[in-house]
Structures are given as structure tokens and as C-alpha cells.
Amino acid sequence: MSLAPSDAEAAARAAQARRRWLLTLPALILLFCAASGPLLVVALYSFLTAGEYSGVEWTFTLDAWRQVFWTKDIFDDVWRPADAHLSIFWRSIRLSLLTTLITLLLGFPTAWFIATRPRRNRALWLFLITIPFWTNLLIRTFAIMEVIRNQGVLNTLLLWSGAITEPVQILYTDAAVLIGMAYVYLPLMVLPLYAAMERVDLRLVEAAHDLYASRWRVLRRVIVPLVRPGLVAGSILVFVPAIGAYVTPRVLGGGRNMMLGNFIELQFGQGRNWPLGAALSMTLLLMVAVALILYVRYAEGEERDG
């Protein structure tokens, strides 16, 4: 019995779909085992009881999730807001947002400068922007440390010029962490902005000037709307790694100005509270997921609006 042409086409498409699934099955298994598997283990640990000497006990409880924002008083067993935890959350969010803002203020004119150079020269400028990626993150952080420490380059120049009479304490403060993260993540802001600015039709800018628009009005009403996708993408690329940063706050903050990444490591290390560390990790994951979902919805809206 022969199949109708439409039935034959449907059967061929179904067979092709099965072959595609079979071809992608090894990659899916590897992805599940290498990425989703450890994530599921961390999620499971967040619902277990902390062991006496680290590790976990296989007793289901929600105490770890409660300890993310609350702490139990050792005398009367009353749950109160965990001020130290909330302070670390606030510092992480605040420094991440400030890092995003600083990299935007520095990266926007930098990307515009590169995008408006002659095409034959842009590759050189992009090469200079990407040079920091050739060096290990820890080395770059130590380089910043040598610049801002009390006997570093910055204080030496200020003392030599007479601007200050004694070294300014920058290292081991929030300002030091902010400077280090802005330096580390600046290329992640410049590259998406450049990709968006390169496609801008400069004739629109010239037309705005011909219509007697001020420079500020041209920037606000013409350039920013055209490069908004790159601006949003760069902000996400900076904010997501900044909020979970570990190396830069650890070196430049000196262990006193902890962020979420350092706090999570502390729970799995000296704190020996693996469930709390797992719950903090999942909380950080949820925060990043919310940021990415907002970006995806924005991108879909931009695409829908043309």
C-alpha cells in the first residue's frame, strides 16, 4: 500500500527529526552530566541538614533556605533577620550595579570612538581593548593592587605632586573592589556597544544636527535608541559575572569586604555549612536568571517592534 504524497512527506520529516535527536543525544547527555547534574546536586544539598563536621546529613529541612535571610538566636531560638547576610547581598548588588554604571560611562565613548574610526583602523583599537583578556584574572587583579596600595603607583604620584601629605587608604575597601571589577569587566561592555554602534547610520546623526538638534539631544534621541540592544547586552554581560565575583573581592577587599561569591566559598570551607552554601548558590542563580529573563523579554520586544 503506497502512501499519499502528504503522508510520505510527513513520514520523511518525522524520520529526519528522529535522526536529529539521535545525533544530538550524546551532546545532551554530556550537557546534563557536566552542567545540570552538579547543579541538581547543589539544589538537593540546599534542602538537607548540615553535618556536624562539614558535609550533609540526609534529613530534609528548609533551614538552609531560611538561613539565607534569617538567623536563629542561640539563646532563645527566635529567628531574626540576618543583618550580616543582608549586608553582603546589598554590597554585592550595589557594587555590581555601580560596576555596570562605571563601565557604561567609560565604555560608551570608547566604543563610539572605535566605531567612528576609519574601517582599516578599527581592528587595531579592538585588539587593544581585548589585550587584558590575554592575561589571567588573578594577575590583572594583582596589577590593580600594585596601583592602588599605600605604596603603589597612584599614591606615589599624588605624594610626589603634593596633592596629598600621606597615602590614601584605598586597598581593602569597597572602592578598591569597585575599581578592580570596573577594570576587569570593561571590555565586556565595550564590545557589545561597538557591535551595535558599528551598524548605526551616521547620516541620521548628521540629519539631526542639520535640524539644529543639540549634541545632548542627538545623543538622547538618536544614538541611544539605536544602540540600546548593545547597551542592554553589555550591561547584562557585566552585571552577571560581577555579582558572583570571587577573585577580585577576595584580593582587593582583603576578606573583610565580602561579596556573595566569597560568602558562598566561606560556607563550603571554614563555615562547614554546605546546605547554606548551596542555598546561597541557588539564590545567586535565581538572581542571575531573573536578570537574563528580563534581557530576553526586552530583546523579544525589540525584535517584535522592528
Residue 257 forms part of a structural domain: yes
Tell whether 79 is covered by a domain: no
pLDDT at 141: 92
pLDDT-derived band at 249, boundaries 50, 70, 90: very high
The DSSP bridge partners found for residue 79 are: 72
C-alpha distance from residue 150 to each of 155, 164, 182 (Å): 6, 12, 20
Does residue 167 sit within a domain?
yes
| Cα(264)–Cα(244) distance, integer angstroms | 10
Region 280-304 average pLDDT: 80
Q: Count other C-beta atoms under 10 Å from residue 103's C-beta.
A: 28
Helix (H, G, I), strand (E, B) or coil at 178: helix
Give the pLDDT confidence of 63-117 residue by residue, as tens digits.
999 999 998 877 777 888 888 899 999 999 999 999 999 999 999 999 999 999 9
Chain mean position to CA 203: 34
Is 277 inside a domain boundary? yes
Residue 306 pLDDT grade (very low, low, confident, very high; cuts 50, 70, 90): low
Q: What is the CATH number of the domain that holds 101?
A: 1.10.3720.10
Q: Which residue has the higher pLDDT, 306 or 134?
A: 134
Confidence tier at 59 by pLDDT (50, 70, 90)? very high
The per-residue pLDDT for 302 is: 62
Q: How many domains does the chain divide into? A: 1
What integer best gives the mean pLDDT of the chain? 88
Contact 287, 202 (CB under 8 A): no
Q: What mean pLDDT comes out for the span 241-257?
A: 89
- State how far the Cα of 109 lies from the Cα of 222, in Å rounded to an integer: 15
pLDDT at 52: 82
168: left (phi over 0), alpha (psi -120 to 50) or beta: beta
Return the percentage of the chain with pLDDT > 70, whole number. Answer: 95
Q: What is the pLDDT of residue 30?
A: 85
Band (pLDDT 50/70/90 cuts) for residue 255 is: confident
Please choose, from the candidates 238, 213, 234, 207, the residue with its C-alpha nearest in 3D space to the C-alpha of residue 112.
Answer: 234
State the Cα torsion 62-67-72-77 to the nearest 10°. Answer: 0
Give helix 260-268 / helix 83-115 axis angle, nearest 10°. Answer: 130
Q: What is the pLDDT of residue 212?
A: 86
- Is residue 226 scored above 60 in pLDDT? yes
The pLDDT of 228-233, averaged and rounded, is: 89
Whether the CB-CB separation of 238 and 181 falls below 8 Å is answered with no
| 147 CA to centre of own chain | 24
> What pLDDT was estimated at residue 33?
82
Assess if residue 195 is contained within a domain: yes
CA distance 124 to 193: 17
Rounded to whole angstroms, how far apart are CA atoms 22 and 97?
Answer: 43
Give the per-residue pLDDT at 300. Answer: 65
The answer to whether position 73 is within a domain reads no
Q: What is the mean pLDDT of residues 13-23?
A: 84
In the structure, how many helices (H) and strands (E) does the chain have? Answer: 14, 4
Pairing of strands 56-57, 70-72: unpaired
| For residues 161-174, average pLDDT | 90
Exposed / middle / buried, residue 263 (Cβ in 10 Å: 0-12, 13-18, 19+): buried
By C-alpha distance, which of 194, 282, 280 is closest to 237? 194
28 inside domain: no
Domain extent at residue 166: 85-304
* pLDDT at residue 202 tops 90: no
Confidence bin at 53 (pLDDT 50/70/90): confident
Confidence of residue 21 (pLDDT cuts 50, 70, 90): confident
- Name the residue type at position 141: T
Asked if residue 9 is part of any domain, the answer here is: no
